[in-house]
Structure 1
């Protein structure tokens, strides 16, 4: 009873109204499909949310990992599922690059309906410990003085850290020497060893190394300072406004055609979970910051991200491997 009262209070605080047609949803198990492997940030997020929302719904919520093709395989399964709210996809910021990087998607983006923008992973502009630059302006000056010789680690051409790098180059008139790695982990090792100069990467992935002084961080992305690194100024604060877009959001999506009342109920319940202090803390510890944007805004947000990222991809001739 106490759990129900707390949940009802959250609903009222959010100004939410649960349509009558959604009162019986869900009445059977719900699948959360993560289009990436187990153990990653999105997978952890899905499991934290699934555990909490199952307590509200009183039905099982099963997380299924369907990795492959940069998220395409799992997302396609969501797009092909019955539009009834019982198959929910959790996608990362990489989702918004699919139309511009994948020539033959097995689904259209219009086959999906966004339910909520859940969290974001803020970007950190990392630098090797002995790089002669202590802020972004100094890095830009150093990169221009050494054009094409300052190295930047990436996890591959179609990854968000490379897209962030290309956006930075485009806006600052710099040119870095991209060094691809098989994942961010090996790149971090080379940056800490002073073998690679810089990298744009998720702040949460390197938090311990930053705190230990093994990596410098020159700036964070987003519209405000990161809860993970509150003492680090944003790119925008330092005079580089493109930085406000440098974060990776996660979203919940369902098949297009899912009844609007089910979409609203699902969105409301997801936001209620994200409003729980214990859940927010668990997500922060995993390197995630809560956004909590509902279904009325989520589709428009993703559409704007697809448009913005496609321009960067086209301008820099980025292709998936």
Structure 2
């Protein structure tokens, strides 16, 4: 009888644990989740003032309120984000050392430049935001829409001047993937950053350029045209704009930011951080901050985020190989 009772108790406990794990975070008993008792540091692997810094600081503010301990941002730039990520990679896996990750320091940068860490050995706690890559055109480009532009580019690809913010950047690889889907090679004109690229696009020295969502301000001011977006579905800021996938399938890429921790982060710590992040991203305050910058809160837990990253690595490895991209 005792054996039967114990077995039933065990089954009931397992069932309860399974059910709790599949409940929304807000429905779980938050008192059972891990919470830090000491200040937490989020490393932003770029200088203050950019989009990634905004994402990190807004998240830190919400987590401070949720946890009741200071969550501070530490800007550690260098090597396209690799220096800051390496700092967290080498830190103690105690939940107090986190960093904002991106394609440049997880899925693209290590393929092109190598990295002083193994990206997929780290603990990718959650995806935070996504945003499209924008295909912009000079205002007087003859092509009226994406389909017409693709038709023209296929006929005379060497005459199309395509700008990006730098060799090996996500916008550059977005262009190369477009080349692959079109079966042609357009003329790539790399710049040292988005600002000089946009200046030349506005001046008519470029025909088109891929940009992150910072390029949207040039569209709303009439200095550039939005030809298409890189995401699989329409962008809420401009729902009438075509997706590249609608003309050149399969094509679906996006900029994203995530939260990463050192390798071997204990499961209970990881779960506690993930739950707090999900709660933070559900708040109107952070959603407004992100939306104003062109980002969409897009929570993805580790269980699905890491397979997402693996697929990204496969895609970008293929693009880098086929386009023979090399970083000096």
TM-score strictly above 0.5: yes
DSSP 3-state at the match of 1:75: helix
2:250 aligned with 1:242: yes
Question: Residue deviations 1:1-52, cap 9 Å, x none?
Answer: xxxxxxxxxx9644664687744x2000001011111111010110011011
Question: Residue deviations 1:87-113, cap 9 Å, x none?
Answer: 11101222211331124x211123311
Structure 2 Cα separation of the partners of residues 167 and 16 of structure 1: 42
Map of 1:296 onto structure 2: 303
Structure 1 Cα separation of the partners of residues 184 and 27 of structure 2: 47
2:211 aligned with 1:209: no
- Structure 1 residue 317: Cα displacement: 1.4
User: In the alignment, is the contact (CA less than 8 A) between 2:165 and 2:211 conserved in 1?
Assistant: no
User: In the alignment, is the contact (CA less than 8 A) between 1:33 and 1:74 conserved in 2?
Assistant: yes
Structure 2 Cα separation of the partners of residues 304 and 280 of structure 1: 27
2:73 aligned with 1:66: no
Q: Which has the larger radius of gyration?
A: 2
Q: Which stretches in structure 2 are left out of the alignment for 5+ residues? A: 1-21
Change (3 A) 1:185 1:72: same
User: In the alignment, is the contact (CA less than 8 A) between 1:122 and 1:221 conserved in 2?
Assistant: yes
User: In the alignment, is the contact (CA less than 8 A) between 1:264 and 1:295 conserved in 2?
Assistant: no
Map of 1:6 onto structure 2: none
- Structure 1 residue 301: Cα displacement: 1.1
DSSP 3-state at the match of 2:46: coil
Structure 1 Cα separation of the partners of residues 30 and 221 of structure 2: 50
1:27 to 37, 42, 65: 37
1:251 to 251, 254, 258: 258
Map of 1:36 onto structure 2: 46
Structure 2 Cα separation of the partners of residues 16 and 69 of structure 1: 42
Change (3 A) 1:168 1:81: same
DSSP 3-state at the match of 1:191: helix
How many residues align? The count is 306
- Structure 1 residue 318: Cα displacement: 1.2
2:287 to 261, 280, 284: 280
Structure 1 Cα separation of the partners of residues 28 and 282 of structure 2: 16
Q: Please, what is the CA RMSD of the aligned residues? A: 1.8
- TM-score, normalised with respect to structure 2: 0.89
